[in-house]
């Protein structure tokens, strides 16, 4: 692994940005695979911590790449990772936005839109699985996950409250 | 041609920038409700239909949805400069905040108490993600036997269980899924 980490960050995240249908939540397993398993940039716990920080930060959740980038290569890493994750998809969005309205009723467009939904669902489910494996080391943590899943499904509560309760339970030393 | 009437108000570049700064720093746990409130309800820059249409496009595109939305929205009103200022407004403040948090974590990440708090937050956030999955899945799985659940399950197994690279799983499943959608619509 004597590759320049900035180049590796740029390459991995630029590629990932083009396949992450469903956004940050769909990209978690691939980020985990690369950062923890393939490149050994961070430990499983550091990855889970980065996810937690990105969740309680304002702004898009994709900001987790900034944390990973900083961990790998400081400020330059943070900048490169963020730019790589946003750049390609922004260019694509810019050009597609100009032609998209024209094909509103086109059958291929409807098929693409409908076809990507289940792929995206499977990827987000995989994210939840990967995170649960990182986070739920004991029955209490798994219990918090199960309860927040039920609360999140049944209510429209502001997630910040749920994070606050989770953080306090963690602080209390149960986890 | 779109049948919806064009929205009456056009933002300037600096208004675009400021709107996305506010959307960004208000947007804990998803910026979409804030974007809708700001753009449709407060500013009248888009009708609700235009907003839904632009957001559907942003979700279908790969990459972070809200980031895509800022580009789609900004370019509609200001071309490339509009897209750039909307994106800068959206990403600027969180980038600064998260970089500071990253520095703090680099310094204090080994503290046991911080680790415990973050572990609790991760457990809770994982639960919320499961809730998102359940909400997305219920319309797909409620229908009688269909291709969509199979694709979702295959994507899950490929990425979560087999731990295959995402681009590979996507390259196989996306065309199959789109083909099913084409045939069975």
Mark yes or no for CB contact B155/A122 under 8 Å: yes
The reply to whether B145 and B92 lie within a common domain is no
Residues B85 and B163 both lie in one domain: no
Q: What is the pLDDT of residue B2?
A: 43
Total domains present in chain A: 1
Residue that finishes a domain, picked among B76, B108, B140: B108
**Domains contained in chain B, number:** 2
Pick the most confident of A97-106, B4-13, B173-182.
B173-182
Give the pLDDT of residue A30.
Answer: 94
The two tokens of residue B39 are 């753009």
Give B62's contacts in chain A (Cβ within 8 Å).
Answer: 17-21, 89, 92
Tell me if A149 is assigned to some domain. no
Please check whether residue A7 touches B, CB under 8 A.
no
pTM here? 0.88
Q: Which residues of A touch B98 (CB under 8 A)?
A: 53-54, 57, 59, 63, 66-67, 78
**Higher-pLDDT residue of A34, A104:** A34
For residue A159 the two structure tokens come to 């997630």
- Kindly list the residues from chain B whose CB atom is less than 8 angstroms away from the CB atom of residue A54: 98
Residue A16: closest C-alpha in chain B:
B167
Give the phi and the psi of residue B163 in degrees, each rounded to 5. Answer: 55, 40
Question: Does any domain span residue A153?
Answer: no
Q: Report how far Cα A38 is from the mean position of its chain's Cα atoms.
A: 17
Q: Which residues of A touch B139 (CB under 8 A)?
A: none
Q: Is residue B123 part of a domain?
A: no
**How confident is the prediction for chain B on average, in pLDDT?**
87
Chain B within 8 Å of A175 (Cβ-Cβ)?
yes
- Cα→Cα distances A146→A134, A155, A168, A171, A174, Å: 15, 14, 17, 19, 15
Q: Is residue B60 part of a domain?
A: yes
* Chain A from 99 to 158: CB within 8 A of any B CB: 100-101, 104, 107-108, 110-132, 134-137, 141-142, 144-153, 158
Max distance between CA atoms of chain A, in angstroms, equals 57
Asked if B22 contacts B93 with a C-beta cutoff of 8 angstroms, the reply is no
Contact B63 A23 (CB under 8 A): yes
Asked whether residue B8 is domain-assigned, the answer is: no
pLDDT digits (tens, 9 = 90+) for A86-99: 999 999 999 998 88
**Host domain of residue A105:** 5-135
Provide the pLDDT for residue A160. 83
Residue A157 lies in a domain: no
- ipTM of predicted assembly, 2 dp: 0.88
Identify the residue among A97, A113, A143, A175 best suited for mutation to test binding to B, counting B beta carbons within 10 A and taking the highest.
Answer: A97
The range of the structural domain enclosing residue B33 comes to 13-108
Asked if residue A14 belongs to a domain, the reply is: yes
Query: Per-residue pLDDT averaged across B141-159, rounded?
Result: 87
Say what the pLDDT of residue B29 is: 54
Residue ending a domain, among B108, B143, B176, is B108
Whether B2 is in a domain gets the answer no
- The better pLDDT of the pair A3, B24 is held by B24
Lowest mean pLDDT of A37-51, A139-153, B14-28, name the range: B14-28
Give yes or no for B132 touching A (CB within 8 A): yes
| Best residue of A17, A128, A147 to probe chain B, by most B CBs closer than 10 Å | A128
Ranges A22-26, A117-121, B21-25, B99-103, most confident: B99-103
Residues B17 and B101 occupy one common structural domain: yes
Do B145 and B86 share a structural domain? no
Judgement on whether residues B45 and B100 belong to the same structural domain of the protein? yes
């Amino acid at each position: 692994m004597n590759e320049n980490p900035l180049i590796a960050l740029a390459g991995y995240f630029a590629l990932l940005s083009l396949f992450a249908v469903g956004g940050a939540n769909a990209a978690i397993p691939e980020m985990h695979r690369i950062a923890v398993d393939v490149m050994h940039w961070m430990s499983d716990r550091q990855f889970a911590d980065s996810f937690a920080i990105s969740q309680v930060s304002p702004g898009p959740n994709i900001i987790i790449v900034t944390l990973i980038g900083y961990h790998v290569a400081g400020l330059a890493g943070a900048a490169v990772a963020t730019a790589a994750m946003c750049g390609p998809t922004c260019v694509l969005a810019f050009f597609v936005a100009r032609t998209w309205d024209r094909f509103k009723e086109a059958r291929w467009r409807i098929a693409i839109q409908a076809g990507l939904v289940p792929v995206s669902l499977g990827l987000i489910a995989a994210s939840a699985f990967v995170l649960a494996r990182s986070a739920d080391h004991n029955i209490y943590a798994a219990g918090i996950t199960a309860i927040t899943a039920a609360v999140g499904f049944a209510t429209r509560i502001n997630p910040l409250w749920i994070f606050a309760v989770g953080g306090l339970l963690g602080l209390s030393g149960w986890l | 041609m779109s049948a919806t009437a064009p929205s009456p108000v056009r933002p300037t570049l600096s208004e675009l920038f400021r709107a996305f700064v506010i959307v960004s720093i208000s947007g804990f746990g998803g910026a979409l409700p804030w974007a809708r409130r700001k753009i449709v309800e407060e500013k009248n820059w888009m009708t609700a239909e235009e907003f839904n249409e632009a957001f559907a496009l942003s979700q279908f595109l790969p990459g972070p949805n809200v980031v895509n939305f800022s580009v789609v929205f900004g370019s509609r009103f200001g071309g490339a400069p509009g897209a750039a200022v909307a994106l800068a407004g959206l990403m600027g403040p969180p980038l600064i905040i998260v970089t500071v948090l990253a520095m703090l974590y680099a310094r204090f990440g080994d503290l046991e108490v911080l680790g415990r708090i973050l572990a609790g937050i991760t457990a809770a956030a994982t639960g919320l993600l499961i809730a998102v999955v359940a909400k997305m899945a219920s319309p797909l799985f409620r229908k009688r036997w269909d291709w969509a659940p199979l694709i979702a399950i295959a994507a899950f197994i490929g990425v979560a269980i087999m731990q295959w690279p995402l681009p590979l799983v996507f390259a196989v499943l996306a065309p199959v899924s789109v083909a099913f959608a084409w045939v069975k619509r």
